[in-house]
Amino acid sequence: MLKYAIIFAIISLIAGLFGFTGVAAGAAGIAKILFILFLILAVIFVVLAAMGVGAARKMLK
């Protein structure tokens, strides 16, 4: 997911460089959403890992 956020950020920069402001804004918006989603999932998995595998299994059931 982070890979896709970086790809969309690069697309946004290149589109902005060539003057395609609509495409650049759209790609930047998608990159922001993917990066925020990545951060949220990363925090969730770090918390679950800190609690231990058994606690994560109990929480998911």
Higher-scoring residue by pLDDT: 48, 20: 20
pLDDT classification of 59: cutoffs 50, 70, 90: low
Structure tokens at 39: 């951060």
Q: Look at the pTM and tell me if it is higher than 0.75.
A: no
Q: What is the mean pLDDT of the chain?
A: 84
pLDDT classification of 56: cutoffs 50, 70, 90: low
Closest to 31 in 3D by CA, of 1, 57, 58, 61 = 1
Q: d(Cα 54, Cα 13) in Å, to the nearest integer?
A: 44
**Under 8 Å between Cβ of 1 and 37:** yes
Q: d(Cα 48, Cα 26) in Å, to the nearest integer?
A: 33
pLDDT classification of 39: cutoffs 50, 70, 90: very high
Q: d(Cα 37, Cα 29) in Å, to the nearest integer?
A: 12
H or E element in which residue 14 lies: helix 2-17
